[in-house]
Amino acid sequence: MEAFAEHLAVERGRSPHTVRAYVGDVRDLLAAARSRGGGDPADVDLALLRAWLSGEARAVPDAVAGARGPRAAPGPAARATTARRAASARAFTAWLARTGAAGADAGVRLRAPRLSGALPGVLAAGAVAQVLAAAEEAAEEGGPVALRDAAALELLYATGVRVGELVGLDVDDVDRSRWTVRVMGKGAKERVVPFGAPADAALGRWLGRGRPALAGPRSGSALLLGARGGRLDQRAVRGVVERISGKVVSRHVTPHTLRHSAATHLLDGGADLRSVQELLGHASLATTQLYTHVSVERLRSSYHQAHPRA
C-alpha cells in the first residue's frame, strides 16, 4: 500500500485527498479478496472486481459476523462513488501488472456506470450577490475572521476554484497588480485565473487588517488562515459558505455551488467554452459542456415566457 500510494502521489501527481481515497478503496478490495480465499494481490481478477463494485463482495469482520450472524452486503454505492472505486481498482491493477506483481492487468476491461452528468443547483446572479453582500456586511462589523470569510467567498465565486484549491493558496499566489491568482489544480496542473474588483477589495482588507491579526508560527505562507493561525481547512470553508448563505437564501449552498454558478454565469454572459474550461481547470471540454445544459434550460424558459408564439 505504501508503494502504491507513492506511485499515485509521485508518478501520477494525484492529490493527497485522491491518494487517501484510492488507497482506502484498494484496502477494501483486498479485504474482499481475502474473504473469498485470495491471499495475494495477483488473485484479484475481473470477476472479483465486478462483484466488489456491485456490492456482492465485501469483507465482513469475523467478530461482527460471529456475534451477529452473516451481514447482508450493502446496496450499490452512489454512481459517483462507484465510478471512483472503479478508477481506484483500475489504477491498482495497472500498477500491479507494470511492477510484475500480477501477470496481467485484470482491470483493463472493468467498466463503471456512467455518471448522470447532473449538476448541483445553480444560484441566480442576484442570489449570489445577496450572499456576497451578507459576507461584506459581516466583514464591516466583525473582526479578522469575518474579513477572511468575505475574501474566501469572493474568491470562490470570482475564480470558480475548487474548495481544495482555495485553501491551498499561498500569499505569493495572488498578484493584485494583475488581478490574477495562480492555482494548483488536479494532477498538479497549474493555471492562472483572473478575478475582479470586488474580490480584490476583499483580499486587500483581509491581507491588510485580517491576516496580520491571525498570523502566527503555524501560518507559513498560507493565504487564508483559521482562527488559531494555521492554514484554513476545507471543512471550515464549507461551514462559512453554509452559514452566510443560510442568512439570505433558502436553499443549501456549498463551495461547489458557487463554482457551478460562476461557470454558468460566465456562459450566460457570452464566455466561450474553452475560456471557461481553462478557468475551471477541466481536463476535458466535455466536462465544461455540462454547463451548457443549464444555460440552454434558462434560454428555453425565457423563450417560453417572452416569445408571443412560444
- Catalytic site positions: 162, 186, 256, 259, 282, 291
Q: How far apart are CA 229 and CA 144, in angstroms?
A: 11
> Which one-letter amino acid corresponds to residue 279?
L
Distances from the Cα of 259 to the Cαs of 28, 121, 192, 195, 263, in angstroms? Answer: 32, 11, 16, 13, 6
Start-to-end CA distance of the chain, whole Å, equals 60
Secondary structure letter of residue 208 according to DSSP: I
Cell of 189: 496542473
In this structure, are residues 123 and 241 in contact, taking their beta carbons and an 8 Å threshold? no
Cell of 135: 459576507
Q: How far apart are CA 301 and CA 310, in angstroms?
A: 10
Distances from the Cα of 154 to the Cαs of 52, 104, 134, 181, 195, in angstroms? Answer: 42, 50, 11, 13, 9
18-28 b/e with 16+ CB inside 10 Å = b? Answer: bbebbbebbeb
- Vertex 55, ends 53 and 58: CA angle to 5°? 100
| Element holding 180 (H helix, E strand) | strand 180-184
Q: How far apart are CA 47 and CA 70, in angstroms?
A: 22
99-117 b/e with 16+ CB inside 10 Å = b? Answer: eeebeebbbeebebeeeee
